[in-house]
Amino acid sequence: MYKIVTTKPFEGQKPGTSGLRKKTKLFMSPHYLENFIQSTFNAIGGVDGKRFVLGGDGRFFGVEAAQTILKMAAANGAKEVILGQNALLSTPAASHLIRINKTDGGIIMSASHNPGGVEEDFGVKFNAENGGPANESITNRIFEQTKVLAEYRISDAVDIELSKIAKINLDGMIVNVIDSVSDYADLMAQIFDFTAIKRLFASGFSMRFDAMNAITGPYAKEILEKRLGASKGTVVHGAPLPDFGGMHPDPNPTWAHEFWDELMSADAPDFGAASDGDGDRNMVLGKNTYITPSDSLAILTEHALKIPAYTKGLNGVARSMPTGSAVDHVAKSLGIECYETPTGWKFFGNLLDAGRVSLCGEESFGTGSDHIREKDGLWAVLFWLNILAVSKKSVSEILQEHWARFGRTYFSRHDFEDLPSDKADAMIADLSSRMSGMKGASLNDLIIKTAEEFSFLDPVDGTTSNNQGFRVIFENDARIVARLSGTGTSDATLRLYLELYDKENIKLDTQQALEPIILAAHELLNLKKFIGKVRPDVIT
């Protein structure tokens, strides 16, 4: 049986965003989670007779949220929910389950790389039937529903057992509790040459994988240690914890500093990788060698023919606009199309579904391919391992050879966090008012060739996405991109993306090479005037 609960409109996700991220205590407050779930159900035309996937990254409140979502799905007439055991699923694994089971979509409980715990963040997003984040049409409908919602439906059944693999009847709806790891691990074995990677580990190759006490731990242990023969202990921080053990599960040099220090030490392992809260991001390092996400995407593209799943070649590649253009040079050499999209994985979905691209990536440590419709941290790590196994070269050697062939795209992101929203908005408004008159002007002695607010015309469905960040391109093709991030739960974060391409000088320090661009960016945004600081909180 179910009950209808009277409620009222609430402040949900912003239009165009792929999910809702707020403080955990807000999600725990009366009606908040329920309102968002019912708004989602209403926005997709109801769920009567439909099938869904459900799981999350294991953060605090995930189990309780899963029970609520299941009861609401049952009360709204859903036929089946495929649930990861203990309500656990990495985002890539959830995408895969949606696709192989041909469900009507999925609900993923995660705030991605944001901290977890009762005082930290929680999130929910809907993925469509292709396995990817809901497009703007759906997310805008969800937002409109939040403004008019008057009631929600929820079963009054008792909580069900989530820890045992079984099929459970919940008020006429089947809850199919499955192994969270096995299907995804099997998929990876179909894509990569596991035999070659096994030989690599058997040869004495050493690796460290830092799961950051997040969802990827069980997947990494199953694949790396059990199936590929990496030594026991290769995976560290491998148990998903509700608060991620106090760690900030964002794989970058700032938050993964313990892992970073180990890979930069004298006795570093041959290879290292870290993943984030929900398993869709990756940072890869060699011994004393850092690989930027932009370079990683370019190198995966360059060496794709070494991977069993891509031996027939790539259809094309895509990168988000703020991402460094290293992959552009590789795509040109291969004679394939390279698309530039706004930030947000949903923008890759149409290109992937249409078969126009095989690989795609973002500068925020996200890389993926057409095997699912999400970025995929472990997939990228296994791609690198496969390249290393076949080439029999070190990470450093592969990187140096890539730069020697294609030139080096110096790239860095500077984050200014926890900015008062009013000051950040005023800074962006001021920048917007000046963009149209910047062509030909000088910033730190660099002449501006193009200054614009980026808009994207989808080549598949013809839709346009405006207001996707500001970019300035100089006559030497150096770039500055500025945008406010939408992934936080409070205040604002300014992200500055800085890029310089150099064909000759490929061994400079990144920040040193970018110094003229950094100074130009500070002048462009009047940082001192608007936010009172010029030192970023995070440099990646």
- Go through the chain and tell me how many residues it has: 540
CB 449 within 8 A of CB 479: no
Q: Which of 401, 432, 424 is nearest to 488 (CA)?
A: 424
Q: What distance in Å separates the CA atoms of residue 184 and residue 244, rounded to the nearest whole number?
A: 22
Instruction: Give the relative orientation of helices 293-302 and 395-406 as an angle to the nearest 10 degrees.
Output: 80
E strands, 390-445, are 408-419, 442-443
Tell me how far apart the terminal alpha carbons of the chain are, to the nearest angstrom. 52
CA 15 from centroid of its chain's CA atoms: 19
Instruction: Give the relative orientation of helices 377-391 and 395-406 as an angle to the nearest 10 degrees.
Output: 90
Query: What does the DSSP 8-state code read for residue 225?
Result: I
Amino acid at 18: S
CB 263 within 8 A of CB 206: no
Q: What distance in Å separates the CA atoms of residue 341 and residue 139, rounded to the nearest whole number?
A: 18
Q: What distance in Å separates the CA atoms of residue 386 and residue 195, rounded to the nearest whole number?
A: 10
The sheet with strand 446-453 has its strands ordered as: 442-443, 446-453, 470-474, 479-484, 492-502, 408-419, 538-539
Q: What distance in Å separates the CA atoms of residue 271 and residue 282, rounded to the nearest whole number?
A: 13
Residues 6+ apart with CB under 8 A from 238: 211, 213, 217, 218, 220, 221
The question of whether 112 is a catalytic residue gets the answer yes
Amino acid at 96: H
**Set 112, 296, 320, 369: catalytic member:** 112
SS (H, E, C) 440-502: CCEECCEEEEEEEECCEECCCCCCEECCCCEEEEECCCCEEEEEECCCCCCCEEEEEEEEEEE
Burial of 534 (0-12, 13-18, 19+ CB in 10 A): middle
Q: How far is CA 309 from CA 99, 192, 282, 314, in A?
A: 17, 7, 20, 10
Q: Which of 62, 146, 164, 76 is nearest to 107 (CA)?
A: 62
**Largest distance between two CA atoms of the chain:** 71
- Bridge-based pairing state of the strands 316-320 and 359-362: parallel
Q: What are phi and psi of 333, to 5 degrees?
A: -65, -30
CB 150 within 8 A of CB 4: no
Catalytic residues: 112
